[in-house]
Amino acid sequence: MVLSLPTDILPETALLYVLAFARIGTAMMVLPALGEMSVSARIRLVMAIAVTVVLAPVIAPTYPAMPLGVGAMAANMIGEVGIGLFIGLTARMFMSALQVAGTIIAFQTGLAFAMNMDPTQGIQGAIVGTYLAVLGTAMVFVTDLHHLMLIGLRDSFTLFPPLSGFPTADFLAVAVDTMAGAFTLGVKLAAPFIVFSLVFYSGIGILSKLIPQVQIFFVAMPANILFGFIIMFLMLSSIMLYFLEHFEAVLLRFII
């Protein structure tokens, strides 16, 4: 007995996987933790293909009848890539709050001159910001927030139905709100160090007036770095918990 498989569904099935991969693959390439630049592009590609293969049967009902014509298919492909890029960059932009906080902390504690390569962004930055970014990435995996990213990718096919166009105005509004929220959060995370800096330098200024003979620079710089490390040691857990709480709220936007 010879089994015959219907061949008329193959084009639609192939197009479904291609469109799903366009959205999922684009998001996986820029998502924090899952799409870090330090991770090999081949590994990210394999993860994107694996997630697409797993999710395609689940999201298949969200796809309407496939359009005919190369132009319509290309337009839909561009739309899927744009949606995936939006999802990934939204999470990536909010992750930059740690870089903002780290840069402010470095300036306030006298460590701004200590620079190194940030593996999460591929650029040089303050060593405190790099430390917070790497720690935040590790905490995303420890607290299983990367599961929320995958759930958000799945629910995005319901939130932004395929072949329904690209809501540019809404995406721009969310991008601006996310960037503003990331900067605000970064300043809040560094708030204890800003207060410490104001008090410390005010005290140093008073000391220099009362005892002009004291070499303020040689006294202030080591003390500033020492107290900065002490505050970092005391506040690090609170900083990361506060950040993870807000990062989770951003991911929950894409979950229905």
Higher-confidence residue of 16 and 240: namely: 240
CA dist 89 to 3, 50, 138, 221, Å?
46, 21, 19, 38
Question: What is the sign of the dihedral through the CA atoms of 12, 13, 18 and 24?
Answer: positive
Higher-confidence residue of 234 and 37: namely: 234
**pLDDT tens digits for 124-152?**
667 888 888 889 888 998 998 888 888 98
Question: Average pLDDT, stretch 38-42?
Answer: 79
**pLDDT tens digits for 78-110?**
888 888 999 888 888 888 899 889 888 888 887
Question: If you search the block for the tokens 């096919």, which residue do you land on?
Answer: 157
- Please check the confidence at residue 226 and state whether its pLDDT lies above 70: yes
Higher-confidence residue of 217 and 157: namely: 157
Taking CA 181 as the corner, what is the angle to CA 176 and CA 236, rounded to the nearest 5 degrees? 150
**Residue 225: per-residue pLDDT:** 85
Write out the DSSP string of 105-133: HHHHTT-TT-EEEETTTTEEEEHHHHHHH
**Residue 200: per-residue pLDDT:** 86
Mean model confidence pLDDT for the chain: 83
**Residue 115: per-residue pLDDT:** 67
Question: Average pLDDT, stretch 42-47?
Answer: 87
Q: Are the C-beta atoms of residues 111 and 52 closer than 8 Å to each other? A: no
Q: Which of 62-66, 113-117, 214-218 has the lowest mean pLDDT?
A: 113-117
Question: What is the sign of the dihedral through the CA atoms of 187, 244, 231 and 219?
Answer: negative
The domains of the chain are located at 10-252
- Please check the confidence at residue 71 and state whether its pLDDT lies above 80: no
**Residue 242: per-residue pLDDT:** 93
Cβ within 8 Å of residue 137, ≥6 positions away: 32, 33, 36, 95, 120
- In the 8-state DSSP scheme, what is residue 66? P
- Of the pLDDT bands very low, low, confident and very high (cuts 50, 70, 90), residue 184 is very high
Higher-confidence residue of 5 and 55: namely: 55
Q: How far is CA 219 from the centre of its chain?
A: 39
Q: What percent of the chain has pLDDT over 90?
A: 12
